[in-house]
Structure 1
């Protein structure tokens, strides 16, 4: 039992089935780099306070670097009987430097060690996801130049509503993904707090310097309660939620483009490299990547539920249940990162079908709201104007014509305040051009927001 870190008081070997059941090396081996990073900082802190010598510290740090290189190159053997990545690395260290390696775990428990590793890993994950989100924002902003002359129908209830600049659509996604980045930045504040030195649950009687190890690991603060350190996985639940919302936004975008790619819409053409064919229908081009982005969004959403259900019944402080927390973290992170890596390339490569869009742009009375607001400017109460335009739309539907096709006399019969300048408002492009409020889909407001995003993203 001496091979086990906790084996001193046990008389029997662990059942092989228990070792297979309790291992986590099959999924936590990916924490190797941050485990070594945290251990090296801990060793330097132990040397600073005199619990190990400078020479011992150097031996530990250098040997850990060697072990990390072997793991990275795939030269390191993993075994179920060593349970997790933390014991694999500590065991290898002890095999190579003997008692010096046994000193590394001084004033540290696997509880605070694991939490430190998870926080370091999550911090890196946040930075990577933030970078991928920025790449996607850049892809949308750079589309604005190519599509600046295009007007699209905006939809509510998937029904044509009002016309907007195509760039307004692209910048709308920039806003969503920017909120995702803001949430991640806020999450980082709670991630970037050092748990190292909290030990099992009560701290230690040894003269450690937790602030020094936190400084070495570039944490911005030090956790203040050792009981809380052992039990806290709030930051993982929060990170998983952030991933779930990113995935939701990606799914919204994918769903829209799936519809736009259909023959019925015909708004967009996707690159061949991001579509697939049918095994039986030779004409088919299927938006499989978009469909899988939409489908994979279910996983981060489920990961939030997994980690919350995992945590909800746990007493203070550490419980072995928490070994399962990494599965939600890794799955949410991997899924969202994979989707984001493809999303920016798809946004860059897609083409709006200008002729198809223009041919149908006047369908659906996209200028009806602009006509109502024209009446308001002429002194008509809003609800009265709403009713007038509704009756005019019904008239047009009965004649299979558009509002702009009505004569001035017909329009004035519905509302005497209408003058011949009404035709500067009617029609989808005129209705779009009339939009002037801050943040709206009209020409000037979109130009303003486009400039804002170019400056914000450094373009």
Structure 2
């Protein structure tokens, strides 16, 4: 039996039922659905639809359904269609006509919108915590690896020497901005649709401000059409998750390259690597490769729903059922990505000797140009002089740091005997203590500032 069958002269085709049914995936909303239904029952109790004893019966019945669901004692039926109808059917079977009054003044349109917003808020809070744990791992890495110098890259070509800790801290501050995006997504989701009805507003004068407070929403929706039709909070959530995934993918890509034999900068722990079915020597960074690979999945979930939503008019259409699978998938998978990346970083082996081995003197070319600038030569002229020195070294297979002051003076009169002091990895690092730079003091400050940020988060929690 369908709860809406009164208007119809024949039952739905079996294929239509299968096509129409969303219970296989939207049952994930059962906790939010029952939470919302209990709050709605309380609101109906306040206006006399339920007597106090009836409200308690409904509340106890709903709580029992949730417990039985987690105990695997609930049997869904094909006619249930979705989690809302399933819960209502079971409630009516258990408590009779009192349960049949629960849907008074409510539509599945405002019900599902409320459920999804509650679900997003709960899960984004969990993702936020996962990011914070990843940030803590980054700080641990930065402190452990402090002082290690390696080549920094642009265009996958050696560029300038940097502290490895500086590289790690770049991820910390990027993730801090990701948390801001999550916070904004939570704020967007923090509007309560319940009481908006199908689209024109409930026909019963429930106290929506009290409802919002009960369900821990910031405020009730100001417009019933907006309340049931808008899925901007899902788009924003999928966008924020995609951004997190994209940036995790970029760091994963670096670590994949660094773990190759050709680089040999890092080695993944065995617990986060896999082998080959045919090549006994292989140790594959599959954890990182899946982090990289799943980024396309997150982007796909965003574009999938955005493409669906763009053609849907106002207010509610069944197309909106397609919001849940990409939403659920992205929320679940991004937690896995963040947790795995955290463990990869905490267990990563750094091969600092290989990093030192690959420090090419050409990495100090900019330092050499800066030397000439400090001697009075305009930078653009200094750049040209150093470019000629680099070309000379390449043509003659000379290491730039092996050139004497006398040899360098043949390229510019601005060189002095003190130029050889430039050829020092440590001095190059020390020269970049500008705010946010790779200098020792600067990176120390980045770490301490990061620890303060994490501490303030812990205090607020």
Give the TM bin, normalised by the shorter chain.
over 0.9
For 1:41, what is the secondary structure of its paired residue? helix
Q: Runs of 5+ in structure 1 lacking a partner?
A: none
Once residues 72 and 361 of structure 2 are traced to their aligned partners in structure 1, the CA distance between those partners, rounded to angstroms, is 61
How many residue pairs align between the two structures? 456
Cα pair distance change 1:259/1:364, threshold 3 Å: farther
Once residues 212 and 204 of structure 1 are traced to their aligned partners in structure 2, the CA distance between those partners, rounded to angstroms, is 15
CA contact (8 A) 1:108 1:200 kept: yes
For 1:64, what is the secondary structure of its paired residue? helix
User: Partner of 1:339 in structure 2?
Assistant: 337
CA contact (8 A) 1:47 1:53 kept: yes
CA contact (8 A) 1:372 1:386 kept: yes
User: Partner of 1:378 in structure 2?
Assistant: 375
Out of 7, 10, 21, the residue aligned to residue 9 of structure 1 is 7
Using the TM superposition, name which of 424-433 and 185-194 deviates more. Answer: 424-433
User: Partner of 2:349 in structure 1?
Assistant: 351
Using the TM superposition, name which of 184-193 and 376-385 deviates more. Answer: 376-385
Out of 47, 68, 71, the residue aligned to residue 69 of structure 2 is 71
For 1:281, what is the secondary structure of its paired residue? coil
User: Partner of 1:261 in structure 2?
Assistant: 259
User: Partner of 1:180 in structure 2?
Assistant: 178
Residue 415 of structure 1 and its aligned partner are, at CA, apart by 2.2
User: Partner of 1:309 in structure 2?
Assistant: 307
Provide Cα deviations, 1:341-394, integer angstroms capped at 9, x if missing partner: 211011000011011111122x16111111112222222111101101111111
Give the TM-score of the pair, scaled to structure 2. Answer: 0.97
1:118-133 to 2 correspondence within 5 Å? 118-133=116-131
Provide Cα deviations, 1:248-281, integer angstroms capped at 9, x if missing partner: 1111111111100000100001100111111221
Once residues 303 and 211 of structure 1 are traced to their aligned partners in structure 2, the CA distance between those partners, rounded to angstroms, is 34
Residue 11 of structure 1 and its aligned partner are, at CA, apart by 2.0
CA contact (8 A) 1:366 1:431 kept: no
CA contact (8 A) 1:257 1:268 kept: yes
Provide Cα deviations, 1:237-257, integer angstroms capped at 9, x if missing partner: 110111111111111111111
Residue 450 of structure 1 and its aligned partner are, at CA, apart by 0.8
Provide Cα deviations, 1:284-328, integer angstroms capped at 9, x if missing partner: 111111111111111110011111111111111000111111011
User: Partner of 1:399 in structure 2?
Assistant: 396
CA contact (8 A) 2:404 2:420 kept: no
For 1:257, what is the secondary structure of its paired residue? helix
Out of 21, 31, 34, the residue aligned to residue 33 of structure 1 is 31
1:37-186 to 2 correspondence within 5 Å? 37-186=35-184
Provide Cα deviations, 1:110-134, integer angstroms capped at 9, x if missing partner: 0000000000000011101111111
For 1:155, what is the secondary structure of its paired residue? strand
Out of 419, 439, 445, the residue aligned to residue 448 of structure 1 is 445
1:185-334 to 2 correspondence within 5 Å? 185-334=183-332
User: Partner of 1:418 in structure 2?
Assistant: 415
Cα pair distance change 1:399/1:414, threshold 3 Å: same
Once residues 81 and 372 of structure 1 are traced to their aligned partners in structure 2, the CA distance between those partners, rounded to angstroms, is 76
Out of 436, 440, 444, the residue aligned to residue 439 of structure 1 is 436
CA contact (8 A) 1:366 1:428 kept: no
CA contact (8 A) 1:163 1:429 kept: no
Once residues 76 and 258 of structure 2 are traced to their aligned partners in structure 1, the CA distance between those partners, rounded to angstroms, is 49
Once residues 35 and 226 of structure 2 are traced to their aligned partners in structure 1, the CA distance between those partners, rounded to angstroms, is 23
Once residues 140 and 363 of structure 2 are traced to their aligned partners in structure 1, the CA distance between those partners, rounded to angstroms, is 27
Once residues 47 and 375 of structure 2 are traced to their aligned partners in structure 1, the CA distance between those partners, rounded to angstroms, is 80
CA contact (8 A) 2:361 2:401 kept: no
Once residues 356 and 148 of structure 2 are traced to their aligned partners in structure 1, the CA distance between those partners, rounded to angstroms, is 9
For 2:363, what is the secondary structure of its paired residue? coil
Using the TM superposition, name which of 50-59 and 144-153 deviates more. Answer: 50-59
Q: Runs of 5+ in structure 2 lacking a partner?
A: none
Once residues 35 and 47 of structure 2 are traced to their aligned partners in structure 1, the CA distance between those partners, rounded to angstroms, is 19
Residue 431 of structure 1 and its aligned partner are, at CA, apart by 1.4
Provide Cα deviations, 1:83-128, integer angstroms capped at 9, x if missing partner: 0011110111111111111111111100000000000000011101
CA contact (8 A) 1:299 1:331 kept: no
CA contact (8 A) 1:366 1:427 kept: no
Using the TM superposition, name which of 258-267 and 242-251 deviates more. Answer: 242-251
The two structures, once aligned, show a CA RMSD in angstroms of: 1.3
